Structure 1
Amino acid sequence: MSKKANPKAIGAFVLGAIALIIAGIMIFGGGNLFQEKKTWVSFFSGSIKGLSVGAPVTFRGVNVGTVTDIQLRIEGKDLTSRIAVFYEIDPSRLTFIGISEAERQEFDAKRLIEKGLRAQLTVQSFVTGLLNVDLDFRPQSPIKLVGTIKDIPEIPTVPSNLEDFLTRFEKVPVEDLLRKVTDILTSIGEVIESEDFKGSIAALHRTLEGTDNLVKKVDGQVSPFMGESRETVKELRKTLQNLNKQMDVLANRTDGTLKTIDNLAKNMDQHMGPLATSLKETSDASHRAMEQATRTLKVFTNLAGDNSPLLYNFQEALEDLSSASRSVRMLAEYLGQHPEALIKGKSK
């Protein structure tokens, strides 16, 4: 007979399982289980190859949501086909600074669109070719809304970079450009095949040959000249070296001569003082002797008379003595002013 199950144990097991499920949802759901997410939709006119459900929705590269659904919608009697991409925006990825919670709630899709919010397909990787939806503010782009979905905010779209390039390329007159390029190539071919062009090429070839020969001749003449120039430079270098040696010898001799002259000048300064003093003393003595002789002459004149021969001879002697005294004084004064006259002689 089977044992009856314990209701308390069953209830505890069920409650534990429910708690584990809730905890798993909270952990693996990133805590976003009870957060309200905003669902938006955008209609893309071009190909969305590479975009799939689960692709990231970014704002200038920052992940803010996920693509939840992609629908091909055939609308109206004219069977207009449009591709609708639905995606959710996670509010926890957005941080508003400087505004209140009430003001934050007022930032609905309409106000963001007025500010320039646009959706664009961008390439995640050029290797895989996967696409994602990128949101950004582009106020310069026009607002183009389809308006067929009323209960979900619609974000206007702008062409992708590739679509924009292809659109611009389609406007380029490729056929006209190819026709012009063909005409240019044809004209170039005609010029190349013309006799004038061939003659110009031949003339250019002859000019190049003449230039080559001229260069060879100039090189043949320049080489000996360069050799002679090198020899001249060597000789000039030797001459300068010899001149430097001679200048050194001359400088040494000049230094010796200057030292000798300096020593001689010092010796002259040492001897000229006593010599000048001696000459002055001699002159003074001669002057005193002349004065004494004059006094003696006066006495003798009184003794001998005016017409005495002795008086006449004595007067001549006194005049000679006076002249000699003046000469000695002049010599002393000249040597005092020009002591170098003892070596070089009196200047003319």
Structure 2
Amino acid sequence: MAKDAGIARQTVVGAFVIGGVALGLAALVLFGNMRLFSTNKRAVVVFQDSVSGLSVGAPVTFRGVRVGAVESIKLQYDQAGRVAYIPVVVTLDPKQIHVMDTSHAGGEPLQLKDVIAHGLRAEQNVQSFVTGSSNINLDFYPGSPEQLHPNVSNLPEIPTHLSAIQKIKETIGDLPLKELATNTNAAVISIRDLAEKLDTDIPPLVTGLRQTSDQSQKTLDAATQAITDLRDHLDVTLANVDHLLRSSDAEIQQRGADLHTTLASATRATDQARATLESVHGMLAPRGAERDNVDAALRDIAAAAASLRGFASDVERNPQLLLMGRRQ
């Protein structure tokens, strides 16, 4: 009886252990996202640059969708070419990729070499700037060169493509940082020397400018005062000239009538003298010397009479001729 009880107890313990293992495996499969019998495909991505931050188990994504994980990372050195290669083996889950309308391909599943021929490339991206972890992202880059390394691995190879961050790193690496630092240091020294010279030269210059400004202000004040005084004197002078002109106009108006009467009398006297001479001219012999003298006198009297008439007309139109005279 005791022996049968022991065997029954061992059977119960064994069944309990087997049940616990089964439950553990079931939980691992359900909650650990594992597929014990999956048909994952393996491929390799060969890097020649640093893969810092990339670790085993890092996700492999296609435009943000996880399609696999990093399986292993190794280092291979080509002693003949003195080149180091870093083959990263990745596992791709075909169940994560649904191929639409395979009728044109005869119902054949998606082939990795076909999508590589159409531009599928792998690039290393920073997954977190805080932790520095990286992942591998897949995407199509039509026209990108297909650089393969058949001697590194026997697995299907996905060509690499430089990511934006890697391009920035290469650009920064190509910059002549030492020369830039030297030029920057020289520029800083030149700026400092210039600042010292300005500190030395500017204060006297500012003092001179201030003195010049004060003198200019004084000159401007004196000129303003002189212009004010000149304006006052000009006002008085213009008032006097205006008064003189008005007085002259009044006097000319007063004397104009007398002058007109005098000129009229002179004209009449000239006409009478001319008539007298003409009478005398008629009495003189045609060829005598007295006749020539009388003719000359008549011509002079006629010219004088014409001048008097013209002057009388001018004075009548502009009485100021008596004061100002004729303008040449």
Taking structure 1 as the reference length, the TM-score comes to 0.49
Q: In the alignment, which of 45, 49, 58 is matched to residue 46 of structure 1?
A: 49
Verify the 8 A CA contact 2:121 2:160 in the aligned structure 1.
Answer: yes
Amino acid in structure 2 at the alignment position of 1:32 = R
Higher mean displacement: 87-96 or 104-113? 104-113
**1:15–1:169 distance in 2 versus 1, CA, 3 Å:** closer
Distance in 2, Cα, partners of 1:76 & 1:84: 16
CA shift for structure 1 position 2: 2.7
Q: Residue deviations 1:258-278, cap 9 Å, x none? A: xxxxxxxxxxxxxxxxxxxxx
Verify the 8 A CA contact 1:25 1:33 in the aligned structure 2.
Answer: no
Q: In the alignment, which of 67, 72, 97 is matched to residue 69 of structure 1?
A: 72
CA shift for structure 1 position 139: 2.0
Q: In the alignment, which of 92, 105, 112 is matched to residue 115 of structure 2?
A: 112
Verify the 8 A CA contact 1:40 1:88 in the aligned structure 2.
Answer: yes
**1:149–1:169 distance in 2 versus 1, CA, 3 Å:** closer
Map 1:236-275; keep pairs closer than 5 Å.
Answer: none
**1:162–1:30 distance in 2 versus 1, CA, 3 Å:** closer
Distance in 2, Cα, partners of 1:185 & 1:177: 12
Verify the 8 A CA contact 1:122 1:134 in the aligned structure 2.
Answer: yes
Distance in 2, Cα, partners of 1:208 & 1:58: 73
Long gaps (5+) in structure 2: 218-328
**1:201–1:97 distance in 2 versus 1, CA, 3 Å:** farther
Amino acid in structure 2 at the alignment position of 1:42 = V
Verify the 8 A CA contact 1:96 1:104 in the aligned structure 2.
Answer: no
CA shift for structure 1 position 141: 2.6
Structure 1 counterpart of 2:36: 33
CA shift for structure 1 position 34: 3.2
Verify the 8 A CA contact 1:46 1:163 in the aligned structure 2.
Answer: no
Distance in 1, Cα, partners of 2:3 & 2:105: 63
Distance in 2, Cα, partners of 1:80 & 1:174: 26
* CA RMSD in angstroms, aligned pairs only: 4.3
Distance in 1, Cα, partners of 2:40 & 2:130: 32
Identity among equivalent positions (%) equals 33
CA shift for structure 1 position 58: 0.9
Distance in 2, Cα, partners of 1:88 & 1:104: 23
Amino acid in structure 1 at the alignment position of 2:127 = Q
**1:103–1:54 distance in 2 versus 1, CA, 3 Å:** farther
Verify the 8 A CA contact 1:121 1:160 in the aligned structure 2.
Answer: yes
CA shift for structure 1 position 114: 1.8
Amino acid in structure 2 at the alignment position of 1:82 = Y
Higher mean displacement: 67-76 or 120-129? 67-76
Amino acid in structure 1 at the alignment position of 2:124 = L
**1:151–1:106 distance in 2 versus 1, CA, 3 Å:** farther
Secondary structure of 2:75's partner? strand
**1:181–1:129 distance in 2 versus 1, CA, 3 Å:** closer
CA shift for structure 1 position 21: 7.2
**1:130–1:105 distance in 2 versus 1, CA, 3 Å:** farther
Q: Residue deviations 1:213-270, cap 9 Å, x none? A: x9xxxxxxxxxxxxxxxxxxxxxxxxxxxxxxxxxxxxxxxxxxxxxxxxxxxxxxxx
Amino acid in structure 2 at the alignment position of 1:170 = G
CA shift for structure 1 position 42: 0.5
Distance in 1, Cα, partners of 2:59 & 2:40: 15
Amino acid in structure 2 at the alignment position of 1:122 = N
Q: Residue deviations 1:298-318, cap 9 Å, x none? A: xxxxxxxxxxxxxxxxxxxxx
Map 1:103-252; keep pairs closer than 5 Å.
Answer: 105=108, 107-149=110-152, 151-185=154-188, 187-189=190-192, 191-192=194-195, 199=201, 202-204=204-206
Higher mean displacement: 173-182 or 43-52? 173-182
**1:2–1:79 distance in 2 versus 1, CA, 3 Å:** farther
Verify the 8 A CA contact 1:40 1:155 in the aligned structure 2.
Answer: yes
Structure 2 counterpart of 1:2: 3
Distance in 2, Cα, partners of 1:189 & 1:76: 53
Distance in 2, Cα, partners of 1:33 & 1:102: 30
**1:150–1:176 distance in 2 versus 1, CA, 3 Å:** closer
Distance in 2, Cα, partners of 1:68 & 1:201: 73
**1:3–1:178 distance in 2 versus 1, CA, 3 Å:** closer
Secondary structure of 2:86's partner? strand
CA shift for structure 1 position 107: 3.1
Secondary structure of 2:74's partner? strand
**1:203–1:18 distance in 2 versus 1, CA, 3 Å:** closer
Distance in 2, Cα, partners of 1:150 & 1:183: 51
